[in-house]
Structure 1
């Protein structure tokens, strides 16, 4: 529902019930339309204006289960902002107690020389300067689009031609389009940023400046993408572009979550790769050699708190490639219990899809969570937790690997979510502390998604907890 329709509903409600308040309308609207984020957002705003933080958080949290639409992003940002304010208030209360104690001690010992007197000037903390670097050279851009299986060869070529003529008006150099068979559950004629083609129906090179097709080749039947010299250049170009997109998305998400939790950006990207429990990332990824960059450009001065996620395009730009037409969004992990499928998504983009094992007898709790801890090589008897663990609830719930790979795809655990070890290592790479995790019992079908090559950043001993034996609900 768009904003205009929402306001029309509100006007009709007040005409019918003139004695009712706006709050009453928001409550009524969320009962009638529980999957519309716009209602939950306004209900949260009204509760927050009343000073009812608990009810405001509950409303904002409900919006996260709603479908993508107007005020979905605003509700998520309001939720995180309120959580940060609660955290800051707790710290302020503790700081006041600490200052009161220090003031008392100072009054007692003000005339005593010693540790209270220090002649050394305090060093001011200055953010590290970001060295200027030359921009990355423009790279060959590749788009993967899926097309309906019902099109005749002539219709297929005609519709792909209309697609390229209508897309990418800002591009100033030729680009390649890989046409693949329909991917059930995914949009048609829309770039699939993180899809690894297995078969292709055609490949086309287009010049958006002259609006001409440079070259094209169509296959009578789906051809293997992994074989043949014809597609070798496209394979290499797509691999580098997907790698770069993954790096930038991972870094932006980590910066965004860091800001949500701390209220500021780190002085340098290296601060994201700290030791446990501050390990947002295991490492900071390095750009592909083709980009001719020693590191990804980082401009924290370009950050705008009022548009935190959107401004990260300037804080950490995507080098060498155009920003996706459908914008990237903060990463979310979503678990469909019905289909035993865990998905990593960025707005409308599916980034990864993994089969998962969940709890028996509905013991995996449905709801909204965030990643609280990331642990490399979590200790447990017989290596039952595999190689990585991501805690999402403090009383024993985690996403982790397994020493029983045959259990993946079933409901056998006591509540935890199991993945293959390679999958949890990749998820551990992508997902930073504070990333949202939504568990739903909705009957979402598993997509036959083809993940790109594994993206795993090695985790070090500083991310381990060797003295802790975990008792997660395995």
Structure 2
């Protein structure tokens, strides 16, 4: 990467984007290769923390980063041109539709499309990197360059604790870096938060930690709400029109109430879930017609590599963001986990029935509060029937049986755990009972997930006879 054209391009780039630290860093590298150390040092000073982060990495920057920077610049300019073109086209369309041949104004109505491609800019987004990623800073910058103007105002890089292929939502999470976007997309302020990541003296993490904690609580609300919307559509073959469609009395209590901010989030989350399903259905149709995302190599079809982008219900970089919450019960470890993709959102210790507890895939066909009219009876304060059988997940009046095989097949939980599970997972949630799949360590949050009840979820007309 020693071409004078590259230096010329980078000089033009930093002139147009003087606060882009990555551009200054790359220009400094070019001057250094050209033997102009004075100019290189000036550029490195302008690069700030980007220089600190990259210079101590074990690998040098390659031509690929310059090409990504050019692609980002080109995309940024194309988006500006597209917005101007769309505005002009809209004005022309307005003239054509509103002014007919006789010159009189006329109002025309058109149906609103289901798919809305407009991306709303998020205040906070999170990029999760794995233990295998030895160059997390570079990965995040690649994602930000690809996202360009659509990136959140604050992007936090985090690494979740991992065990046996699972990522732990409430485990030991490390915050590695924060990138704040200011003055539009041209200025990115980078803060390094982890000593091992940057091999430097990191900044104070407390302010970013508060932002992350707030974001993570909102993400749990998103997951629960999105899961309820998905399960509602699966059962009713239509989308809920409002949040109240999900918060109805037994037996249609998809959600056990609502949480702060959930009502305001409904429209946006619903739209994203609809778009995700429409895109998935389109992909299935195209694959069936031989038009899937693939390229021919030596006569063989190979999938195209996914582009890195900031997506999700709440700015989470995860291709599985739109999967609904599921429940996994591990008979070997006596654990029940709420999972989203390969993230363990919650993990609880449960009581089982050994061979009497069946393995297989079920779903929550019924959710009831105070089964048989009591909150401290043999089924505790909450019960969730599995696939219309006599098996259920419920509370117990024998707390000492938790962690043991003393039931007749049902899944027993403590009062606090079963009530949190009841609030977090909606009606229709898939339950998979396996043998030997979950870590043995439970995840107890400092603050329980809780919904404020808005409806009657009891069923006094039925006597429950689950295999307790």
Please indicate, yes or no, whether the TM-score normalized by the shorter chain is above 0.5.
yes
Give the one of 191, 206, 209 matched to 2:179: 206
The corresponding residue for 1:184 is 163
Q: Distance in 2 between matches of 1:282 and 1:198?
A: 30
Give the one of 135, 140, 143 matched to 1:167: 143
Deviation readout 1:335-364 (Å, 9 max, x if unpaired): 11111111222223332222211114x111
Q: How does 1:370-385 map to 2 (within 5 A)?
A: 370-379=363-372, 383-385=377-379
Query: What is the Cα deviation at residue 412 of structure 1?
Result: 1.1
Comparing 138-147 with 238-247, greater Cα deviation is found at: 138-147
SS in 2 for 1:433: coil
Query: What is the Cα deviation at residue 285 of structure 1?
Result: 3.4
Query: What is the Cα deviation at residue 167 of structure 1?
Result: 3.4
Give the one of 363, 368, 377 matched to 2:361: 368
Q: Contact (CA 8 Å) 1:357, 1:409: kept in 2 or not?
A: yes
Residues 1:353 and 2:329 are matched in the alignment: no
SS in 1 for 2:336: strand
Q: Distance in 2 between matches of 1:302 and 1:466?
A: 35
SS in 1 for 2:156: strand
SS in 1 for 2:232: helix
Deviation readout 1:145-189 (Å, 9 max, x if unpaired): 5547xxxxxxx9x73333323434315344222456x532246xx
Comparing 451-460 with 232-241, greater Cα deviation is found at: 451-460
Query: What is the Cα deviation at residue 450 of structure 1?
Result: 6.2
Q: Distance in 1 between matches of 2:187 and 2:138?
A: 11
Q: Contact (CA 8 Å) 2:312, 2:318: kept in 1 or not?
A: no
Query: What is the Cα deviation at residue 393 of structure 1?
Result: 4.2
Give the one of 264, 286, 292 matched to 2:238: 264
Deviation readout 1:201-255 (Å, 9 max, x if unpaired): x6422368679772224458xxxxxxxx933322321222222222222222212
Q: Distance in 2 between matches of 1:248 and 1:455?
A: 12
Query: What is the Cα deviation at residue 310 of structure 1?
Result: 7.5
Residues 269 and 338 (structure 1), Cα distance of their counterparts in 2 relative to 1, 3 Å cut? same
SS in 2 for 1:390: strand
SS in 1 for 2:177: strand
Q: Contact (CA 8 Å) 2:269, 2:313: kept in 1 or not?
A: no
Q: Distance in 2 between matches of 1:391 and 1:398?
A: 4
Q: Contact (CA 8 Å) 1:370, 1:434: kept in 2 or not?
A: yes
The corresponding residue for 2:327 is 333
Give the one of 420, 431, 435 matched to 2:429: 435
Query: What is the Cα deviation at residue 280 of structure 1?
Result: 0.8
Deviation readout 1:108-130 (Å, 9 max, x if unpaired): xxxxxxxxxxxxxxxxxxxxxxx
Deviation readout 1:258-307 (Å, 9 max, x if unpaired): 12211112232211111111111112434279xxx486546679947974
Residues 196 and 346 (structure 1), Cα distance of their counterparts in 2 relative to 1, 3 Å cut? closer
Give the one of 213, 219, 230 matched to 1:245: 219
The corresponding residue for 1:464 is 458
Give the one of 380, 383, 391 matched to 1:389: 383
Q: Contact (CA 8 Å) 2:126, 2:317: kept in 1 or not?
A: no
SS in 1 for 2:371: coil
SS in 1 for 2:213: helix
Q: Distance in 1 between matches of 2:188 and 2:271?
A: 40
Residues 178 and 432 (structure 1), Cα distance of their counterparts in 2 relative to 1, 3 Å cut? closer
Q: Contact (CA 8 Å) 2:273, 2:322: kept in 1 or not?
A: no
Q: Over aligned residue pairs, what C-alpha RMSD do you find?
A: 4.0
Deviation readout 1:403-429 (Å, 9 max, x if unpaired): 333322211111110122222122212
Residues 1:455 and 2:449 are matched in the alignment: yes
Gaps of 5+ in 1: 1-134, 149-155, 221-228, 312-316
SS in 2 for 1:342: strand
Residues 398 and 237 (structure 1), Cα distance of their counterparts in 2 relative to 1, 3 Å cut? same
Q: Distance in 1 between matches of 2:138 and 2:325?
A: 32
Q: How does 1:61-76 map to 2 (within 5 A)?
A: none
Query: What is the Cα deviation at residue 463 of structure 1?
Result: 0.2
Residues 212 and 196 (structure 1), Cα distance of their counterparts in 2 relative to 1, 3 Å cut? same
Q: Contact (CA 8 Å) 2:313, 2:322: kept in 1 or not?
A: no
Query: What is the Cα deviation at residue 457 of structure 1?
Result: 0.9
Q: Contact (CA 8 Å) 1:386, 1:403: kept in 2 or not?
A: yes
Residues 458 and 411 (structure 1), Cα distance of their counterparts in 2 relative to 1, 3 Å cut? farther
The corresponding residue for 1:230 is 204
Q: Distance in 1 between matches of 2:272 and 2:128?
A: 35
